[in-house]
């Protein structure tokens, strides 16, 4: 990210992911909204959360495809995003007017401690000053972040959550189990908040669509993180005898520790999706077996070396019955069966590797040009620079 602009905005490999993975998933989610039981629910607009960067290519792609519908006065007010600073948020809003942006570090804001979190209902309620604290800058900054966090929570739930963070899910310097994992758990918990529809019922979503991006690695993970990945793989092998043969056919080994020591990338690709699935299960969601889990891989070069990005795409469903109507510590039968199906898919199905040899560059460039043309209808930065 440079000056708030995503450095891979024009990367056609990335745009392949947008058009081949993200776009169909969002189309199917909109179809699910249109199939809701009441007229008010069917007519509502799709709610989309993203890390779109200043260029907002993903949002504009959905605008061109009529998946995201602007308000009657032309506002993208069902689009929500994070960016690093107020300046970047303002720049983004020039390109998608009316979108609701939150400045700051996403993980830090989500994990900010709030003693009143469970009673946050009105984001307009003023924050009380901390007891026995001087009116100093640190207190004011903390209260501003807390207000922003409470405001963010009020907008949940979203129909589509695009966590295109472009960073590691697991970080060696993070205290186990990691800040991002803890933040994801919060976000998925907030996804259970009832959706308020003007003139219609307020009810929790029974599903949403999730896109998640992570960098493969890093290889210097601590023993705790490596153990977590090994445990995920080992537990799967212990509960499904057929997985041993599937893993042996794909990797040449059937021992998680040996896989970690000899094929770290494969070890990560088998273990990491189970971590994400476990976070969902722990917050009363599960990966829909009907859609399954699609994984795409892109390799990038930088500073004489390379790294790989994984893009995970899935539909997510709420447990039925939900957690407040099940015995403590139990999972719904449907979710358990879906998880077994997911595990087999992850073991048996390699990721889709996206490279220059596998894409139609001319078609993707033409599509990207159409999206940029749509962006210029809202904000022409080149015209502004020429004034």
Q: Alpha carbon of 86 to those of 89, 101, 105: distances in Å?
A: 5, 9, 11
In tens, the pLDDT along 164-188 reads 988 899 999 999 999 999 999 999 9
Q: What is the band of 235 on the pLDDT scale with cuts at 50, 70, 90?
A: very high
Helix (H, G, I), strand (E, B) or coil at 122: coil
pLDDT of residue 144: 85
Does residue 256 contact residue 238 with C-beta atoms inside 8 Å? no
Domain residue spans of the chain: 105-156, 180-194+211-354
Query: pLDDT digit string (tens) for 78-130?
Result: 999 999 999 999 999 999 999 999 999 999 999 999 988 776 544 444 444 54
Rg of the chain (C-alpha set): 22
356 versus 304: which is more confidently predicted? 356
CA 106: distance to chain centroid?
Answer: 12
Top-confidence residue, 284 or 200:
284
Closest by CA to 138, choosing from 150, 126, 129, is 129
């Amino acid at each position: 990210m440079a000056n708030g602009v995503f450095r891979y905005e024009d990367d056609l490999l990335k745009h392949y992911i947008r058009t081949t993975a993200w776009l169909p998933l969002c189309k199917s989610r909109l179809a699910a909204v249109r199939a809701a039981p009441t007229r008010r629910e069917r007519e509502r607009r799709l709610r989309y959360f993203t890390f779109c960067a200043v260029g907002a290519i993903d949002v504009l792609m959905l605008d061109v495809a009529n998946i995201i519908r602007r308000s009657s006065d032309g506002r993208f007010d069902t689009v929500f995003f994070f960016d690093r600073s107020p300046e970047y948020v303002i720049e983004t809003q020039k390109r998608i007017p009316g979108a609701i942006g939150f400045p700051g570090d996403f993980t830090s804001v989500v994990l900010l401690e709030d003693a009143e979190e469970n009673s946050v209902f009105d984001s307009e309620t003023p924050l009380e000053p901390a007891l026995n604290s001087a009116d100093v800058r640190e207190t004011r900054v903390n209260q501003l972040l807390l207000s922003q966090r409470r405001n963010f929570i009020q907008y949940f739930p979203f129909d589509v959550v695009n966590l295109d963070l472009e960073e590691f899910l697991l970080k060696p310097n993070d205290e186990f189990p990691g800040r991002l994992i803890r933040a994801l758990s919060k976000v998925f918990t907030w996804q259970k908040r009832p959706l308020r529809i003007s003139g219609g019922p307020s009810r929790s979503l029974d599903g949403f669509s999730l896109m998640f991006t992570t960098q493969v690695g890093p290889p210097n993970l601590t023993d705790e993180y490596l153990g977590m990945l090994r445990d995920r793989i080992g537990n799967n092998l212990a509960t499904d005898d057929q997985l041993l043969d599937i893993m042996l056919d794909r990797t040449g080994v059937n021992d998680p520790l040996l896989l970690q020591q000899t094929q770290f990338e494969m070890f990560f690709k088998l273990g990491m999706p189970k971590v994400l699935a476990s976070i969902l299960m722990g917050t009363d969601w599960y990966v829909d077996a009907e859609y399954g889990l699609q994984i795409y891989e892109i390799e990038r070069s930088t500073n004489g070396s390379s790294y790989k990005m994984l893009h995970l795409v899935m539909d997510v469903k709420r447990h039925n019955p939900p957690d407040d109507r099940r015995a403590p510590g139990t999972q719904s039968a449907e979710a358990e069966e879906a998880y077994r199906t997911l595990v087999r898919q992850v073991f048996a199905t390699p990721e889709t590797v996206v490279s220059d040899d596998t894409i139609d560059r001319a078609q993707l460039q033409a599509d990207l040009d159409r999206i940029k043309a749509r962006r210029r209808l809202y904000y022409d930065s080149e015209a502004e620079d020429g004034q």
